[in-house]
Each structure stands twice: as C-alpha cells, then as structure tokens.
Amino acid sequence: MMKNDLYPVFLKVSKLNVMIIGGGTVGFEKLSFLLKSSPNANVVVAAKEFSKDIIALAKVHKIPLMWRPYTSNLLHKQHMVIAATNDLNVNKEIHYDAKQKQLLVNVADTPDLCDFYLGGIVTKGNVKVAISTNGKSPTMAKRLRQFFEEVIPENVDDLVENLNIYRRTIKGNFSEKVSRLNKLTQSFILRTND
C-alpha cells in the first residue's frame, strides 16, 4: 500500500507573506479555506479580474486585491504563493519563478507542481486536525473533514485548557511531569501502552 509521506506543519500565516494569484472559483476556494482556519492570515490576492464572491470575502477580511496580470515582481518578499489562474502556462511560469526565489509554491490544478497541499481542516478551539489524501482525492479529504467535525467532541478544548492549567502546576523534573500527565490522561483512549 502506498503511504502518505508528506510532513504536516502548522504555519503561523499571520507572520508569513502569502500571495494568491487568480481571483476566480479556485482563488476564492483557497482564500476562503485559508481565512476560515486563519482569519488573521497575511495574504494578498492578485488577478486580472475578480469574482463577486472573492471581492465580498476580501472586503470582510480587509484582504488587499491587486488588479493586474501576473508578473514575477508580485513574488517579491513573499514566503508562499498559490497559483490559481485558469491559464496553465501562467501557473507554470509562477511555479518556475517561485522555485527561482526558493518560495513554497502550490499550483492548485497540478499536484506535481506543488511543494505543499492545502488540506481538509477541523478546528475545535485550540485543537486542529489537518487531513491529506496525498493529493489523490480532495473530495475524500472534505468528507473526512466533515466526519471529524462530527465525532471530535466540542468539549475537547475544555480538556486541553484544563490540562494546560494542570501542566503548569506540576512540580518536578521533565520525566516526572510526563509520567503524571500520562497517568491522568490514560482513560482518554481505550487502549494504551504508556
């Protein structure tokens, strides 16, 4: 069986400059999922034209829109770029320029040209679960996201907050703390070896 070998990280996108190129259906989808998970994301969208949806979303979140065709200077000072135009040659050019500048790049319609994928995301307070199917089935990533939204209890965040308070009160060295926390949380899962 093929295994997913992608390494997930949780980016502080308020501290990174993110550029989305393309303001149509896909640009809107990428921007809305980014903002849903990270309302404080530092993101700019550039495109020749923008859909009504993306204009409305950008207004609510105060996201700058740049009305212009793609040129490589749009990548200046960016950390990450998402290419979402409907012109494959432009998307390829964005990919080429981004690699020259060592930026992380996602070309929405071409998994081979992606350094990273956007995943399905479930958020419950401080807890966040990210889902990827290795680019094989975005629809399945969406369904799994919906499944975990249902099954992860809303109060998981209360447990996390309480454990955070407890964690700060425990005295002792690192391994004593680990052992106390492991004992306390043992019943959270059905079967455990530690």
Ligand X SMILES: NC(=O)C1=CN([C@@H]2O[C@H](COP(=O)(O)OP(=O)(O)OC[C@H]3O[C@@H](n4cnc5c(N)ncnc54)[C@H](O)[C@@H]3O)[C@@H](O)[C@H]2O)C=CC1
Ligand Y SMILES: C[C@@]1(CC(=O)O)c2cc3[nH]c(cc4nc(cc5[nH]c(cc(n2)[C@H]1CCC(=O)O)[C@@](C)(CC(=O)O)[C@@H]5CCC(=O)O)C(CC(=O)O)=C4CCC(=O)O)c(CCC(=O)O)c3CC(=O)O
What are the residues binding ligand X (CB under 6 A)? 21-27, 47-50, 69-70, 84-87, 90, 108-109, 138
Exposure string over 127-153, b if 16+ CB within 10 A, otherwise e: eebbbbbeeeebeebeebbeeeeeeee
Within 8 A by CB and 6+ apart from 82, the residues are: 18, 19, 20, 21, 22, 27, 30, 105, 106, 108, 118
The one of ligand X, ligand Y, none whose footprint includes residue 21, by CB under 5 to 8 A per kind, is ligand X
Of 108 and 122, which CB lies nearer to ligand X in the complex structure? 108
The one of ligand X, ligand Y, none whose footprint includes residue 49, by CB under 5 to 8 A per kind, is ligand X
Fill in the amino acid letter for 68: R
- Select the residue interacting with ligand Y from 134, 179, 182, 186 (CB under 6 A): 134
Fill in the amino acid letter for 117: Y
122 pairs with which residues across the strands?
129
Query: Per CB under 6 A, which region of 72-80, 109-117, 158-166, 167-175 contacts ligand Y?
Result: 109-117
Of 6 and 156, which CB lies nearer to ligand Y in the complex structure? 6
53 binds ligand Y (CB under 6 A): no
User: Would you call 169 exposed, middle or buried from its count of C-beta atoms within 10 A (0-12, 13-18, 19+)?
Assistant: exposed
Of 43 and 141, which CB lies nearer to ligand Y in the complex structure? 141
State the residue number with the nearest CB to ligand X: 24
Tell me how far, at minimum, the Cβ of 9 lies from ligand X, in Å. 20
